Amino acid sequence: MTGNREDKGERHAHPSDLLGSVILGLNDGIVTTLVFVLSVSAASGKVRTTIIAGLSEMLAGGVAMFLGGYTAARATREAYHYQVDVERQEIRSEPEEERAEVTRLYRDKGFRGSLLEEIVRHVTSDPERWLRVMVRDELGAPPDEGSPGWRVGGAIGGAFVAGALIPLLAYIWHLPDPAVLAIGLSIVALVLTGAARSRFSRKPWWVSALEMVAVGAAGSAAGILIGAGLHAAHQ
């Protein structure tokens, strides 16, 4: 019975550190491409032109998102390690001030009296242990504990391409009223993305879904207005 209870133990869904990158890429891919194809379609009135322009935007956007995600992850790591070096130098050059920071840190955690003094003495007796405590408190978890830059970039870029393909499908398949279907497919995708996102938050799935759809609706309206304006400008 005990083994059965252990097998049926409570399980929690833990989001991947790439979840935010995937959501960002999907949302940006869907909305950006939807706005783009609606604008091109309204301005040109040609399905072939819309498909070529949309695919070009999808691929260029995917590459740009990959490079942006990779560069941002690398920059975050470099900035973090620079701050670690600064903290190490401060421990060497300003030990009393840094020791006072450790004291405040553990006092805020509720420690007092001789116990607090013993903890501070233990932490500051080893420079590397001291540095780890200060870094964790001031900088948080190191980015090295997350996914590498190429994986972050791949998650954002790949999700962008996947999201961008959705509003293009109606044009690629030469379906009737492709603009309307592009909006419909995008709304469905945004609903599903929002519902999936709610799995790792306290929001009901329909609230997350409505938030994503609101963004898509604003983008659709912008695309239609932009396309109509460009079309009128070339009359």
Instruction: Classify residue 2: in a domain, yes or no.
Output: no
Q: Evaluate whether 17 touches 155 at the Cβ level (below 8 Å).
A: no
- Which structure tokens are listed for 134? 């200060």
pLDDT score for 1: 44
Domain presence at residue 137: yes
Which pLDDT score, from 0 to 100, does residue 143 have?
67
Do 43 and 231 contact (CB within 8 A), yes or no?
yes
The residues, any chain, with a CB within 8 Å of residue 141's CB and separated by 6 or more, are none
1 belongs to a structural domain = no
Q: Residue for token digits 């013993």? A: 118
129 lies in some domain: yes
pLDDT of residue 14: 45
Tokens linked to 228 = 């109509």
Residue 139 has which token pair? 């900088």
Domain that holds residue 117: 18-233
Per-residue confidence (pLDDT) for residue 161, from 0 to 100: 96
Q: Is residue 26, in this structure, part of any structural domain at all?
A: yes
**pLDDT of 199:** 74
Q: How many domains does the chain have?
A: 1
Cα four-point dihedral sign 162, 167, 168, 174: positive
Question: Alpha carbon of 201 to those of 50, 155, 194, 197: distances in Å?
Answer: 37, 20, 11, 7
* Residue 94 falls inside a structural domain: yes
Residue 119's nearest CA partner among 135, 130, 128, 131 is 130
- What global pTM score does this model have? 0.74
Q: What is the mean pLDDT of each run of 10 residues along the chain (235 residues)?
A: 45 59 88 89 87 95 94 88 90 92 92 93 93 84 72 92 94 92 91 81 83 80 75 71
Q: How many C-beta atoms surround the C-beta of residue 195 within 10 A? A: 16
Residue 170, number of CB atoms within 10 A of its CB:
24
Q: Is residue 3 part of a domain?
A: no
Q: Can you give the pLDDT at residue 146?
A: 67
- pLDDT in the model for residue 17: 66
End-to-end CA distance of the chain: 78
Q: Is residue 107 domain-resident?
A: yes
Q: Rounded distance, CA 180 to CA 184, Å? A: 6
Report residue 179 as tokens: 């603009």
The whole-number pLDDT of residue 235 equals 65
Q: Are 152 and 4 in contact (CB under 8 A)?
A: no
